[in-house]
Amino acid sequence: MSENLDNPQRDHQEEWGEETSGLIEDDDQRPALSAEDGSGEPRASDGDHDHAQRTSSSASEASPNEPVLMATAPDTALASVSQPGPKGYAVRVVNLQKHYQLGGETVKALRGVSFDVPVGDYIAIMGPSGSGKSTLLNLLGCLDRPTSGNFFLGADDIAQMSDDQLSEIRASRIGFVFQSYNLIQQLTVVENIEVPLYYRGNITATDHKRALDLAGMVGLESRLDHRPMQLSGGQQQRAAIARSLINDPYFMLADEPTGNLDSVTTKTILDLLQKLNNQGKTIIMVTHEDDVAEQSKRIIRLKDGQIQVDKRIRPL
């Protein structure tokens, strides 16, 4: 899945029309291949994921083979104790540790990370290179399991799950948005939006309608039959955002979602994320950029595998 960086049709400076039926309208001048009415709202999140009892928020350094049961929090670890939103928590992580074995050495990529994510939160994860952002994102995305600690998604402790269960959750309950969009080049916009549904089986008429609605919601109702090559970077990212929502995920996990975009397009994507968050979507985003992070409601800054700062900058 390439990034189409050389695609001459990619117009970096997107123009935007007034808001209409969807969240945003695509004001692109290219002729539309399809003009079906795809506007509409996605179904609301059922959102009631508040089951996990909070346990310890302590952090520790443990030797790699030693289970971490009790430990004291280092000064720098400001474990978040957020109040649950009216709909409970989307995610809670407790004392997450991730150690990698590298040539006989143990790399402690995460050294006791604890935080709660109430439904409706919008978190920017920041930190210098090597601080553990990607490692944390891999855990949150169920791409990997922690060395120790707990990761509650609803009532389920992901840390205890089998690989098959992790794959199932990854496909059905988490919405991924990547820096390089990761759309399938051979598929149209609407087909790309439907991709996560294939993991569940057949796509029903209701599913298809939902994909059309999501395309409309991100302003791509006149681009339904376009393939990624025919879209600008911003449009591709909007398709990817719609795809991330097709399963009504517990949360959206965005890894540098504006990292490949110019500043004008970045703003349109951030506006879209903000509107989705205003509708109740929970967003966890990794970013290097302060001005991107400032669009969120809460900044978690990692340093050396620990939370250095967990600061709410907007109310839930």
Ligand X SMILES: Nc1ncnc2c1ncn2[C@@H]1O[C@H](COP(=O)(O)OP(=O)(O)O)[C@@H](O)[C@H]1O
Considering the complex, state which of residue 288 and residue 314 has its C-beta at the smaller distance from ligand X: 288
Sequence length of the chain is 316
**Shortest distance in whole angstroms from residue 103 CB to ligand X:** 9
Pick one of ligand X, Mg ion, none as the site partner of residue 253 (Cβ within 5 to 8 A by kind): none
Could you say whether residue 100 binds ligand X (CB under 6 A)?
A: yes
The torsion angle over the Cα atoms of residues 304, 181, 314 and 312, rounded to 10 degrees, is -10
Look up residue 52 and give its two tokens.
Answer: 């996990």
Distances (CA, A) of 292 to 63, 124, 174, 181, 288: 36, 8, 22, 17, 8
Interface with ligand X (CB under 6 A), residue from 84, 112, 120, 127:
127
Residue 206 binds which entry of Mg ion, ligand X, none, CB below 5-8 Å type-dependent: none
Cβ neighbours of residue 75 closer than 8 Å, sequence gap 6 or more? none
Cα–Cα distance between 242 and 220 in angstroms, integer?
Answer: 9
Q: What span, in angstroms and rounded, lies between the C-alpha atoms of 185 and 27? A: 23
132 binds ligand X (CB under 6 A): yes
Among 87, 111, 133, 226, binds ligand X (CB under 6 A): 133
Nearest distance, CB of residue 38 and ligand X, angstroms: 36
Smallest distance from ligand X to CB 185, Å: 27
CA gap 38, 19 in Å, rounded: 14
Of the candidate residues 134, 167, 274, 279, the single one contacting Mg ion (CB under 5 A)? 134
Name residues contacting ligand X, limited to 134-163 (CB under 6 A). Answer: 134-135
- Binder to ligand X among 58, 97, 131, 150 (CB under 6 A)? 131
Tell me which H or E stretch contains 240: helix 233-245
Q: Which does 196 bind (CB under 5 to 8 A by kind): ligand X, Mg ion, none?
A: none
Q: Rule CB under 5 A: is residue 34 a binding residue for Mg ion?
A: no
Strands 306-312 and 298-303: antiparallel
User: Residue 221: left if φ>0, alpha if ψ -120 to 50, beta else—which one?
Assistant: alpha
CB atoms within 10 A of CB 169: 19
| Angle between helical axes of 263-278 and 233-245 (0-180°, round to 10) | 20
Interacting residue with ligand X among 74, 130, 259, 280 (CB under 6 A): 130
When asked if residue 97 is in the footprint of ligand X (CB under 6 A), the reply is: no
Selected range binding ligand X among 70-78, 100-108, 163-171, 234-242, rule: CB under 6 A: 100-108
Residue 288 CB, nearest distance to ligand X (Å)? 10
Looking at 8-16, 57-65, 101-109, 212-220, which segment touches ligand X (CB under 6 A)?
A: 101-109
Match 């120790």 to its residue by tokens: 148
- The site for ligand X (CB under 6 A) is made up of 100, 102, 107, 109, 127, 129-135
- The site for Mg ion (CB under 5 A) is made up of 133-134
